[in-house]
Amino acid sequence: MKKVKDKKQLIIEAAMKIFCRDGFHKATVSEIAAKAGVGKGTIYEYFDSKKQLFIEMMKYYANLYYENLIAAIEKEKTIMDKLKRYILIEEEIMTKHGDLAQIFMREAYNIGLEVHKIMKNNRIKQIQFFADLIQAGIDEGIFRNVNPYTAALAFMGSVHHIQVSKIFIKDSYSEEINIENLHDLLLNGIKK
């Protein structure tokens, strides 16, 4: 019984790597099977189709991400620490799983309605969670009276973008770009 779960897990992890590298349509079931170290037919013992494998892979990582996020943030005491932690986790996730985030975004429109729904719900949950944090900060009087959703998206977008750029550009001035700078910038603004 444990073994069955292990093999399904194995396939999901292999699928994640291949889907991230190639996207849904370029990825082949053959290669996922090879990466998982199982036969091609075995994939179909655990998943109805390539599409279904993609969906279950997405669900798995979406949940994993959200659970970890909540767990880490709830350890922090103050709003400011929670906020910083959120940004740090976003950064960490983007570093480790930026490709996953990318493919979630990109394929969300194309694979089908179910994928789109998962993505949308996941995204809304995140934004809401972050917006709630900011709203709490506003209520406590440590933040200006900004729109919490705009702020949430700005924060998330900045972190995301910086990370993607670092991965993408690699050999350039990406060294000097770091999250410490970003924290300062987002908290204090650019204007003198």
Partner DNA sequence: GATGAATGAGACTTCATTCAT
Partner DNA sequence: TATGAATGAAGTCTCATTCAT
Q: Tell me which residues touch DNA (CB under 7 A).
A: 3-4, 7, 26-30, 38-46, 49-51
- Please report how close the Cβ of residue 44 comes to a second copy at its closest, in angstroms: 13
Indicate the DSSP class of residue 170: -
CB 58 within 8 A of CB 118: yes
CB 131 within 8 A of CB 82: no
**Does the protein bind a second copy through residue 70 (CB under 8 A)?**
no
Tokens of 93: 């996730």
The partner in contact with residue 192, picked from a second copy, DNA, none with C-beta cut-offs of 5 to 8 angstroms by kind, is a second copy
CA 56/CA 101 separation, integer angstroms: 15
The partner in contact with residue 35, picked from DNA, a second copy, none with C-beta cut-offs of 5 to 8 angstroms by kind, is none
Alpha-carbon distance values, 66 to 20, 55, 70, 91, 145 (Å): 19, 16, 6, 14, 27
- Please report how close the Cβ of residue 9 comes to a second copy at its closest, in angstroms: 25
**Does the protein bind a second copy through residue 161 (CB under 8 A)?**
yes
**Does the protein bind a second copy through residue 158 (CB under 8 A)?**
yes
The partner in contact with residue 41, picked from DNA, a second copy, none with C-beta cut-offs of 5 to 8 angstroms by kind, is DNA
In degrees and rounded to multiples of 5, residue 173 shows phi and psi of: -80, 15
CA 108/CA 123 separation, integer angstroms: 11
- The amino acid that residue 98 corresponds to is G
**Does the protein bind a second copy through residue 134 (CB under 8 A)?**
yes
Query: What is the binding site for a second copy (CB under 8 A)?
Result: 21-26, 102-103, 105-110, 119-120, 123-124, 127, 134, 137, 141-144, 146-147, 149-151, 153-154, 156-162, 164-165, 168-169, 172-174, 176-178, 181-182, 184-192
